[in-house]
Structure 1
Amino acid sequence: MELEFLGTNAGTPSLQRNVTSMALRMFEERRTFWLFDCGEGTQHQILRSSLKLSKLEHIWITHLHGDHIFGLPGLMSSRSNQGGTTPLTVFGPPGLKSFLETSLNISQSRMEYEWTVVEHEGGMIYEDDEVKVESLKLEHRIDSYGYRVVEKDKAGSLDLKRLATYGLKPGPAYGRLKRGESIDLGNGKQLHPADVLGAPKRGRIVTILGDTRPCSNIIELAQNADLLVHEATFMHDLQITAHNYYHSTALQAAEAAQLANAKELVLTHFSSRYKDMEQLQPLLVEAKNVFQNTLLAEEFSSIPVKRN
């Protein structure tokens, strides 16, 4: 599991950075990736990456400002032309369905796959056997949401040496034990998973926030997160500007990470006034003074989600 940044600019694209989008790559876990936000030009960014739209499973929209959704109709249409045949689900705030249906219908876009829009106003909005996703409203000029992706704990590794002492060879029995099922050894005894499985692997937590001013729901969503992605539109010398435009500073993002006991913080959604990575360094220094384990998001950079 790793997070790849496809756009890190706020509001409008620049020559150095595209507007917001990031991909949660889960090829080992699910053989798919999820997309968070889809600003204009996101499909061009994907073409420059190793991602394939045919592997896109879900899209999660934080809010309906243009720099977070204007790339959606084009990307969804192109997915059909790039071998995408599996269903696609798009999650986001109320109004998202109308936006997509209107733009795709008027443009007579032909979709060769089933697509669904799930509008929500927060809460537990998705769960399957491997992962669950919770969302809470943040504090922005329009309704904006953060997402907390929680990977479920996985069974520990099989102890092959112990299995050999029971005369078991690789096969269906291994799979049943991994699934938590006991097996009959054929001598009147049963072998239980606890006898041959190591400690469970703790599921990882990724928190991805939409645009927001500091608020209590950030702390709840980011509690004990292994990776927190937080907007940092401005340096703290512009905190009044940030407040008036419903955004956060790098310092405020670091304070949130510290309060939430997050393990790693990634700053993104930078104002165009900071032209390049060199000009963004003061934001990193500002955040690191409060929360040392902080990184700046860069276009096409991939950050692994570690089990801390």
Structure 2
Amino acid sequence: MDLLFLGTGSGVPAKHRNVSSIALKLLEERNSIWMFDCGEATQHQILHTTLKPRKIEKIFITHMHGDHIFGLPGLLSSRAFQGGETPLTIYGPVGIKQYVLSSLRFSATHIKYPIKFVEFSDNECIFQDTQFKVTVRKLKHGIPSYGFRIEESDHEGTLQADALKAAGVPFGPMFGKLKNGEKVILEDGTVIDGKDFVGPSQKGRVVTILGDTVRTNASIELAENADVLVHESTFTHKDVKLATSYNHSTNVQAAETAKQANAKKLLLTHISARYLSNDVYELQKEAQTIFPETYVMQDLKEISIPLERKGDELK
């Protein structure tokens, strides 16, 4: 599981930052990619990566401001040209279906793959299968804006193969039974209990990705104990009045949210173009005084979210 930041700027594109888009790479987990927001020129950003548009399975839209959706029509069209034939689901606020279908219709764009639309409101589970659950909460912005909590199911414990071999268990069908926690009897009469050779289950990962928002309790609830919190930081704290007037957050407010939520890592994005390299360094440094595991993202930066293996030892 990896997060690839395709655009980390706010409002309008800049030379050093494109507008909002994030790819959650789930290649090992389900051989697919989930995208969060799709600002203008997102498909251009993809050209600088190894991402394959045909592997995009789901697109989640936080809100309907242009810097988060203007890249959708082009990306959807290119996905068709580049061999994308599998179904795609777009999740977003009310209006996302009309926007996409109107854009495709008036541009005479023909999509060969089926697109499903899921329009949500607040406090909903919008997707769940055996691997993942995605819930959405309404944040506080000038227009309806939302945050997503992506929860991975727990992983079964690892079978201790070396310990089984040392105990005289031949590799083969017995391994499968032991993995299921069953008991097997060896040729010499020894009884082997699978429960003694399977490590503890591993807690699934939690990723929280928020849309544009001022500080709100919904952000904290979405980010509770998250492995990674992606939070907008449009302004530095010295511009807090400006942030409030534009319904955005500062770096300090984002750090306070991460701390209250007991998140493990905070990734700041949606940075105003007014802040250049030195400003961004100070922005990160200031936030780290409140929440040390804070990092400002740059375009095309990729963050790995490893599965913790603590305690995965022989019982």
Name the TM-score class by shorter chain. Answer: over 0.9
User: Is the aligned partner of 1:33 residue 2:36?
Assistant: no
| 1:195-254 Cα deviation digits (max 9, x unpaired) | 331111110110000000000000000000010000000011111111111000000000
Does the Cα contact within 8 Å between 2:121 and 2:138 map onto a contact in 1? yes
Q: Which runs of 5+ in 2 are unaligned?
A: 309-315
Aligned to 2:154: 153
In structure 2, relative to structure 1, the CA distance for the partners of 1:183 and 1:54 (3 Å cut) is: farther
Indicate the residue corresponding to 2:273 in structure 1.
Answer: 272
Counterpart position of 1:305? 305
What SS class does the counterpart of residue 25 from structure 1 fall into? strand
Map of 2:252 onto structure 1: 251
* Structure 1 unmatched runs, 5+: none
Write the distance in 1 (CA, Å) between the matches of 2:120 and 2:20: 21
Instruction: Tell me what 1:112 maps to.
Output: 112
Q: How do 1:75-224 residues align onto structure 2 when only pairs under 5 Å count?
A: 75-122=75-122, 123-164=124-165, 165=167, 167-170=169-172, 174=175, 178=179, 180=180, 182=182, 193-224=194-225
- Count of aligned residue pairs for this structure pair: 305
- Given the two structures, how large is their TM-score scaled by the length of structure 2? 0.91
Q: CA deviation at 1:162?
A: 4.2
Q: Report what 2:313 is aligned to.
A: none
Partner of 1:57: 57
- Decide whether aligned partners of structure 1 residues 247 and 177 sit closer, same or farther in structure 2, where only a CA change above 3 A counts: farther
Q: Secondary structure at the match of 1:237?
A: helix
Note closer, same or farther for the CA distance 1:298–1:182 as it changes in structure 2 (3 Å cut). same
> Is the contact made by 1:226 and 1:306 (CA closer than 8 Å) also made in structure 2?
no
Aligned-partner SS, 1:67? helix
Q: Is the 8 A contact 1:24 1:33 kept in 2?
A: yes
For 1:140, give the aligned amino acid: H
Contact 1:62/1:209 (8 A) holds in 2:
yes
Specify the SS of the correspondent of 2:14: coil
C-alpha change, 1:73 and 1:307, in structure 2 (3 Å) is same
In 1, Cα distance between equivalents of 2:60 and 2:218: 18
SS at match of 1:36: strand
**Alignment partner of 1:28: what SS?**
helix
* TM-score between both structures, scaled by the size of structure 1: 0.93
**Residue in structure 2 matched with residue 43 of structure 1 by the alignment:** 43
Q: Deviations over 1:73-112 (max 9, x none)?
A: 1101110111111111111111100101111122121112
How far has the Cα of 1:124 moved from its partner?
1.1
CA distance in 2, matches of 1:170, 1:271: 58
Deviation at 1:25, TM superposition (A): 0.9
Distance 1:161 1:65, change over 3 A: same
Q: Partners of 1:175 and 1:118 in 2: how far apart?
A: 39
Identity of aligned residues (%): 46
Q: CA deviation at 1:272?
A: 1.2
Residue 200 to residue 16, structure 1, CA distance change in 2 (3 Å): same
Whole-angstrom CA distance in 1 between matches of 2:134 and 2:107:
32
1:92 corresponds to which letter in structure 2?
A: G
Contact 1:182 1:190 in 2 (8 A): no
Contact 2:169–2:186 (CA<8 Å) still a contact in 1?
no
Tell me if the contact between 1:182 and 1:193 (Cα under 8 Å) persists in the aligned partners.
yes
Deviation at residue 174 of structure 1 after TM alignment: 4.7
Whole-angstrom distance in 2 between the partners of 1:227 and 1:99: 31
Cα deviation, residue 121, structure 1: 1.1
Secondary structure of the corresponding residue to residue 201 of structure 1: coil
Counterpart amino acid of residue 62 in structure 1: T
